[in-house]
Structure 1
Amino acid sequence: MPSLDTVKHAEQTPDTELPWAELGLKEPEYARIREILGRRPTGAELAMYSVMWSEHCSYKSSKIHLKQFGTKAPDSDALLVGIGEQAGVVDIGQGYAVTFKVESHNHPSYVEPYQGAATGVGGIVRDIIAMGARPVAVLDPLRFGAADHPDTRRVLPGVVAGIGGYGNCLGLPNIGGEVVFDPCYQGNPLVNALCVGVMRHEDIHLAQASGVGNKVVLYGARTGGDGIGGASLLASETFDSADGKPSKRPAVQVGDPFQEKLLIECTLEAFQERLVVGIQDLGAAGLSCATSELASGGSGGMRVELDSVPLRDSSLSPEEILMSESQERMCAVLEPDKVDRFLEICEKWEVTATVIGEVTDGDRLTVHWRGEQIVDVPPRTVAHDGPVLDRPYARPAWQDALQADDPAKLSRPGTGEELRAAVLALVGSPNQASKSWITDQYDRYVLGDTVLAQPEDSGMIRIDEETGLGVALATDGNGRYAKLDPYTGAQLALSEAYRNVATSGATPLAVTDCLNFGSPEDPAAMWQFAEACRGLADACQVLGTPVTGGNVSLYNQTGEKAVHPTPVVGVLGVIDDVTRRTPMAFGQEGQLLYLLGDTREELGGSAWSEVAHGQLGGLPPAVDLERERLLGEILVAASRDGMIDAAHDVSDGGLVQAVVESCLRGRNGARLVVPDGIDPFVFLFSESQGRAVVAVPRSEEVRFTDMCGARGLPAARIGVVDGQEVELQGQFSLPLDELRETYERTVPALLN
C-alpha cells in the first residue's frame, strides 16, 4: 500500500489487506464498512470507522438497553435538550438554563493517573462549553482498589492531583462526588467526572453543520501524537490479567488547563456575538468524531482539508491526525462573513484557529490530503449508524448463592461496649472516614458562588446573585448493592442522589448517569448492565426525573475479574433562594433530632457487614420510590419554610454514621434514645432507605410534625443536640474529640 492511500487507489486495489483487527474492529464490522462504501476503505476511512465504532464512541453493546431512557422518560416541562446531544439542558426558571453531564476516564487514569484524570475533567468541561454554557462547577465520583494496597497509593494521589490541578487552573469549584475503596476496583479504578454549566435559554448551541458554504474552523491546541486512539480504543477492551495493561496501549492524552481556560473564554465571546452556527468539541476520536458528528447533524455534507490542521508534529500521517485525541480543541461552523471576526477573537485570546473545510450540498464527508481525496463516506454511517449488538445476557449462576448469604446470620454487637467499638470501627473505616485529605486539594469556593460543597449532602451553586436562584447536584452509586441486585442497585443510586439533593432544600429535576460495568462479552456482566438500565429507567419514571444524557463505560475488568456493577447517578435540582438551603451540621444546642422514614433490619451490602466481617451478601435495602418522593417534598418544604435547621440523609453506615458526621460538622454532640420496638444495633447500623435525620428548632416542632403527620411520613423524635459527645442513652457515649481523631486519621495514614 503506498504512503498515501486514496479513495481512487482503494477502488483499484480491493484485495489490499488492512489492519482492521489491530484497530479493534470485528470481521463482520469490517465487512459492513466495505458494504457501506461499496469498496474497501482507505487507511484514513478505516481509522475513522475504527474509533467511531469502538465501544466507547458507538455504544454498540448498550444502545439497545439505553433506549429505555427515552421510551420510559417521564414528562418534564423543564427538559430543553435531552439525550443525543453533548449534554442535557434543563430549564431552571428566570430565563436560565443549566447543562450537566457525567463521563468516565477509567482506563486512561489507571495507565497514567495524573493525565488520565486531568483530561477527563477537560473533556467534560468542553462538552458543557459546546452547549453554549459557561462551566460553573465540577464533581468527581471516584472508586479505587483496597485502601491499603500499594497500587492504590500510586493511582489515587495521581488521580486527585490531576483533577485538582486541572480544575483549579480552570478556576472551577469542585463541589461534590464520592471516594470509594473496594478490592474489586484494584487494577481498574473508576474515575468519573461531572460538569455543570449555566446559560440563558437563547444561548443553547447544538452539534450541527448546516448551511451550504459555511466554513468549518478548528481552533484550540495544535494536533499532536498524544492520545492517538486514546480513550476510544483504550476504553473498549479489558486489561490483561498479567500486567494490568490493555493489549493495545495507545498514548494517554496530555492536558493543558491554561489552554482550555483560553478556549472557554474565546468560545463564550464568540457565542455572545452570535457568530457560531454549530459547534463540537474534540474529545474521544478527535477530528473523526467532530467532523462526522457535525456533518451528520447538519443538512448537507462536509469537505475537510486535512493539510490545514495545525500540527505539533509534522510527521503525523493523515490517519494519525484523524485519530489523535489531543486535548483543548474544538470545531465551529460559521457563516463565511463571520469567519474574520471569529479569527480575531481567537487571536485576542491567543488561540490557534484555522479554516479546515466547509459545508457542502451533498451527503458525503470528504477529507483531502496533499491534493488527494482520502475519505469519502456517508457521515451518519460513521457517527450514528454504527453496529448495534444485542449481546447475550444471563443471570449468573452465583447470584442465588450471593443473595442467600444473609448478613442476619453474622455475629453482631450486643452490649453497650460492643456497640461503641462497632461505631468507632465504622467511623474509622476507609469508606466512612473523612475524605478531607482528598477534597482539600480541590478549590471548592473559587468564583464566589459556591453555597454548599463536600462533605455536604449535595454541592450547591448560586446562579443569580440578585434573586438567590441556585442549583444543587449530587452523585451517588453503591457497587455493593448493585452486585447483590443490579436492578435495585441502580434504583438505590438514583434514590440516594435524589435524597441528597432534596436534603439540601432543592427540588430534583433531572438525571445524568455514568454506567460502569465489566465486559459486554460476558453474559453475566451484560445481564447486570441490562438490569441496571431497566431499574434506572423505571425509577426515573416514578420520580419524574428524566435522564438527560451520560456515559457508558464497559470493559472495566482485569482478566476474568470485573468490577462491581457501578451505576453512578447524578441528580440536579433547583432551589429558588440559596439562603434557604439546609446544611448538614448540627449547629446549635437544643435542636430536636427527628428520624424521618421507617427503619427495618436491612443489612445486605451494608457498611457494617463490610467493616465487621468483610462480607457481601444478602439482598440490598428495599426501594420505595413513592416514599423517596414524599420525603423529598417534605425536606424541600421544611427548608423553604424554615422548619428545620439541619438535615442529613441516612445511607451508607446507617443512622449512626449520619449523626456522627453532622455532629462533627457542627461541633456539637447529640444525645440519642432508641425508639420503642427497635433493636439498638438495627437502630444504629441499618441502611433502610427513604430516611433522613433532621434538626428541628423547638419553636417549629409542632408545625413540622403536623406536616409530616398530615402527609403520612413517619417522624420519630430520637434525641437532642447537646454537649460534646455522641451518647446512646443506656448504651455508650463517645466524645467528639475521639470520634474526630478516628474519623480524620484513616485516609492520610493510608496514603502517606
Structure 2
Amino acid sequence: YKQYDHEVQVRTVVKPGDDAAVLRIDENTAIALTTDSNTIHTKLSPFDGAAGCVAEAIRNVISMGATPYAVVDCLNFGNPETPEILWQFKTAIEGMSAVAEKFDAPVISGNVSFYNETEGIKINPTPAVGVIGVEDIENIRTLDFKNEGDKIILIGKTYDELAGSEYHRAIHNIEKGIAPKIRIDEEFANGKTVLDLISNDKDKNITAVHDVSAGGLVVALSEMVIKSGLGAKVELKDDELDKIQLMFSESHARYILTVKADAVDDILSQIDVEAKVIGEVEGTSLFINSHEFKFEDLDDAYHGVIEQFMA
C-alpha cells in the first residue's frame, strides 16, 4: 500500500496500516475499508477458513468503529475439474455466505480464478476478501495504545486452536490439523458488543480497539506496541489452556480494547459477552506472563522482514 497515493482527494482520515483505512465521505460520515485472506486455514478447513476470512475483515472494520456494509471477493483455486478442488470451492463459498448473511453484509462484487496450478502443484485455496463499513466520524478508533495506565480488556473466548496458526508454521514448520472454527453467533454478538460500546462512548473512554487474528493474542498486542511506542503488562491465565495456546491460538471473534482506568467498571457493566481485564498499558516493553518483548526487537521483526529476506 506504500506504493499507492492514499492521499488522493485528501479524504484519508486513517491511513493504511491500521485494521482498516478510513476515508471521509462528508462532515459526519466515513467509510472503513480492509482486505483479508488466510490460505492455510482455508486449505485445512475450507468452510471455517473461508468464513474466517470474511469474519476477520468484518472484525477489522468493526475495530475502526464502522458497521459492516458490504463484501467483495477474489476467489483463487486450482483445477475445478478435480473433485477435491470443486469441493473446496463449494464449501468455501458456503462458509463465506454464512458469515456475510449473519452480518447482513451482501457480496456486491467479485471474481473467480481457477486452474492456478503448475505441473500438478496447485495453490492453496485463496479467498481474498474485502469489506467496507460505514461509520460516524466521531466513532473512529485506532489500534495504537494511547495512554499509560489504560486498562486492557479482551473480549471473546480463546480456544485450543493452534492448528494452522502462524506459531505452528513459523516455529514448527507445520500446516496440519483442523483450522479454528467459526462460531457465528459468538462472532456476531462480540462484534455488536464492540460497536455498541463505541457508539455509546461519548466521553471517548475507549482509547484503542484491535482485533485478534493471525499470530494470536501476542501478535495483536505486539502490533499495538509497535504502532504506539508504548508497552504493556499482561497476565494470561486459563484453567483449560496452557500458555502457548493462550498466547498464539488464532480463535476468532476476539477484540482487544484499551479503556481509561476510571471507566473500566462502567465499560465492563455494558458487556454481556465474555470479557476480562488482562493487563495495563505501561512502559515501552511488552510483558506477557513475565516474558519481556522489547520494543526494539518487536519493531525490527515487524518492519525489517523484507529487508532481511532481500539482503
TM-score, with structure 1 as normaliser: 0.40
**Distance in 1 separating the partners of 2:192 and 2:71:** 17
Q: In the aligned structure 1, how far is the partner of 2:122 from the partner of 2:238? A: 44
From the CA coordinates, give the structure whose radius of gyration is larger.
Answer: 1
Cα gap change, 1:533 to 1:676, in 2 (>3 Å): closer
2:32 alignment counterpart = 472
Q: Which has the higher contact order (CA 8 A, sep 6+)?
A: 2
Partner Cα separation in structure 1 for residue 63 and residue 193 of structure 2: 9
Shift of 1:676: 4.3
Query: Runs in 1 of length 4+ with deviation above 3 angstroms?
Result: none
Return the alpha-carbon distance in structure 2 between the equivalents of residues 644 and 634 of structure 1. 13
1:587 to 124, 146, 149: 146
Following the alignment from structure 1 to structure 2, what is the Cα–Cα distance between the partners of residues 681 and 603?
9
Which residue identity lines up with residue 15 of structure 2 in the other structure?
A: A
SS in 2 for 1:647: strand
Asked if 1:685 corresponds to 2:248, the answer is: yes
1:659-698 map, 5 Å: 659-677=221-239, 678-698=241-261
Q: Deviations over 1:33-87 (max 9, x none)?
A: xxxxxxxxxxxxxxxxxxxxxxxxxxxxxxxxxxxxxxxxxxxxxxxxxxxxxxx
- Which residue number corresponds to residue 568 of structure 1? 128
Counterpart for residue 749 of structure 1: 308
Work out whether residues 497 and 571 of structure 1, in 8 Å CA contact, stay in contact via their aligned partners in 2. Answer: yes
1:518–1:554 contact (8 Å) kept in structure 2:
yes
Q: How does 1:726-745 map to 2 (within 5 A)?
A: 726-729=286-289, 731-745=290-304
Q: Which residue does the alignment assign to 1:449?
A: 11
Identical-pair percentage: 36
The residue that corresponds to 2:166 in the other structure is 607
CA distance in 2, matches of 1:482, 1:600: 18
1:556 Cα deviation from its structure 2 partner: 1.2
Q: Which amino acid aligns with 1:601?
A: D
Counterpart AA for 1:656: V
Letter in 1 for 2:160: E
Confirm whether residue 716 of structure 1 aligns to residue 279 of structure 2: no
User: SS of the residue aligned with 2:65?
Assistant: coil
Q: How far 1:446 sits from its partner (Å)?
A: 3.1
The structural deviation recorded for 1:542 is: 2.0
Query: Which residue type is aligned with residue 693 of structure 1?
Result: I
1:74-85 residue pairs with structure 2 within 5 A? none
User: How many Å separate the matches in 2 of 1:580 and 1:538?
Assistant: 27
Query: Whole-Å Cα distance in 1 between the matches of residues 166 and 126 of structure 2?
Result: 16
CA displacement, residues 307-330 of structure 1 (integer Å, 9 cap, x when unaligned): xxxxxxxxxxxxxxxxxxxxxxxx
- Residue 117 of structure 2 corresponds to 557
Report what 2:183 is aligned to.
624
CA contact (8 A) 1:543 1:625 kept: no
Note if 1:699 corresponds to 2:259.
no
SS at match of 1:645: strand
Cα separation, 2, equivalents of 1:552 and 1:453: 29
Q: Distance in 2 between matches of 1:460 and 1:510?
A: 15
Distance in 1 (CA, whole Å) between partners of 2:301 and 2:74 is 32
In the alignment, the residues of structure 1 paired with residue 143 and residue 57 of structure 2 have an alpha-carbon distance, to the nearest angstrom, of 15
CA distance in 1, matches of 2:229, 2:179: 33
Code of the aligned partner of 2:47: Y
After superposition, the C-alpha distances for 1:524-581 in whole angstroms (9 at most, x for unaligned) are 21111111112222222222211112111111111211110011111111002x2320
1:235-254 deviation digits (Å, cap 9, x = unpaired): xxxxxxxxxxxxxxxxxxxx
Structure 2: 5+ residue runs without aligned partners? none
Q: Which of 41, 56, 66 does residue 481 from structure 1 map onto?
A: 41
Q: CA deviation at 1:503?
A: 0.7
Q: Is the 8 A contact 1:649 1:691 kept in 2?
A: yes
Give the conservation status (yes or no) of the 8 Å contact 1:675–1:716: no
Match of 2:66 in 1: 506
CA distance in structure 2 between the aligned counterparts of 1:511 and 1:440, rounded to whole angstroms: 23
Q: Displacement of 1:440 after TM fit? A: 3.0
Alpha-carbon distance in structure 2 between the residues aligned to 1:676 and 1:481? 25
Q: Which runs of 5+ in 1 are unaligned?
A: 1-438
